């Protein structure tokens, strides 16, 4: 069984949802990024979702766009991203998912990209802008090396298209809780239960919910209906607010994780 499946199974056995922490790889520099990854994992993240820095992150709001820009300006590259994963593997066996865009995959070729990521220690690929209708080559390349695939379902996804999307995933399904881009929100959509139920009719894979999650109440509400909760901008903002102060970044991330996981918020 792969690391992703094991992690969701363990969480389910403990009667809770998984916490998926998103950070941009290399933000604001390699060493600070590595320390940030270690901090969120030690603070309770079950799965680490690493955004691969990209110049045109279409699905990301301003917080994550600026994180990608900082990483690129600090010299982030494909190889540096893989180096970061290898460094994380020195202290953690938690699942790592690359949150990436197809231009980055296509430029290397799906076979090379999946193989290199797998060898470095990546467990899954979430390729934001690759529709399943055009993903056959990419999915085959991932299957060949045992790389799990993560697919996105949006509030606008039709019931007719759901089976096509869910068939393309092998790791988990990522339900985007609202239309638009990433970013902290004050409230969550009120139909998450109905949406996740509709997705479960087409797959046995775990379902995680993200986009806009910024409070422990959000985490608790999602945990009741999903198998995992994704928090990104709320963590990335801890870095953005403390640039140049690595120790303060670690403290801010740790405190934010404590806030998000307060009151047993992941409990089913």
Q: 22 has which bridge partners? A: 49
Asked if 55 and 107 touch (Cβ cutoff 8 Å), the reply is no
Catalytic residue from among 46, 60, 123, 184: 60
Asked if 26 and 77 touch (Cβ cutoff 8 Å), the reply is no
Catalytic residue from among 49, 123, 221, 227: 49
For residues 199 and 181, what is the distance between their CA atoms, to the nearest angstrom?
21
Find the angle CA(199)-CA(205)-CA(207) to the nearest 5 degrees: 55
Total Cβ atoms within 10 A of residue 55: 11
How far is residue 45 from each of residues 42, 238, 255, measured CA to CA in Å?
7, 16, 13
For residues 217 and 199, what is the distance between their CA atoms, to the nearest angstrom?
23
Find the angle CA(193)-CA(147)-CA(266) to the nearest 5 degrees: 30
For residues 246 and 145, what is the distance between their CA atoms, to the nearest angstrom?
36
**Residues 6 or more apart in contact with residue 257 via CB below 8 angstroms:** 21, 39, 40, 43, 44, 45, 235
Asked if 63 and 233 touch (Cβ cutoff 8 Å), the reply is yes
247 is an active site residue? no
60 is an active site residue? yes
How far is residue 185 from each of residues 63, 117, 257, measured CA to CA in Å?
12, 32, 17
Find the angle CA(265)-CA(257)-CA(150) to the nearest 5 degrees: 80
Catalytic residue numbers? 49, 60
């Amino acid at each position: 069984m792969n690391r992703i499946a094991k992690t969701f199974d363990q969480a389910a056995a403990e009667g809770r949802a998984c916490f998926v922490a998103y950070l941009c790889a290399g933000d604001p520099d390699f060493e600070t990024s590595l320390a940030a990854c270690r901090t969120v994992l030690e603070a309770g993240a079950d799965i680490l979702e690493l955004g691969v820095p990209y110049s045109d992150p279409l699905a990301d709001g301003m917080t994550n766009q600026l994180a990608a820009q900082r990483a690129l300006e600090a010299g982030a590259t494909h190889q540096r991203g893989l180096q970061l994963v290898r460094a994380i593997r020195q202290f953690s066996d938690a699942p790592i998912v690359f949150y990436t865009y197809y231009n980055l995959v296509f430029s290397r070729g799906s076979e090379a990209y999946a193989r290199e990521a797998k060898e470095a220690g990546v467990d899954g690929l979430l390729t934001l802008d690759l529709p399943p209708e055009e993903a056959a080559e990419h999915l085959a390349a991932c299957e060949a090396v045992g790389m799990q695939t993560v697919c996105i379902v949006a509030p606008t996804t039709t019931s007719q298209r759901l089976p096509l999307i869910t068939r393309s995933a092998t790791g988990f399904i990522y339900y985007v809780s609202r239309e638009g881009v990433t970013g902290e929100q004050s409230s969550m959509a009120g139909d998450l239960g109905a949406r996740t139920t509709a997705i479960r009719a087409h797959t046995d894979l775990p379902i995680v919910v993200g986009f806009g999650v910024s409070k422990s109440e959000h985490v608790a509400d999602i945990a009741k209906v999903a198998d995992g909760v994704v928090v990104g901008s709320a963590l990335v903002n801890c870095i953005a607010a403390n640039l140049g102060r690595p120790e303060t970044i670690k403290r801010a991330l740790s405190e934010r994780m404590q806030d998000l996981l307060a009151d047993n918020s992941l409990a089913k």
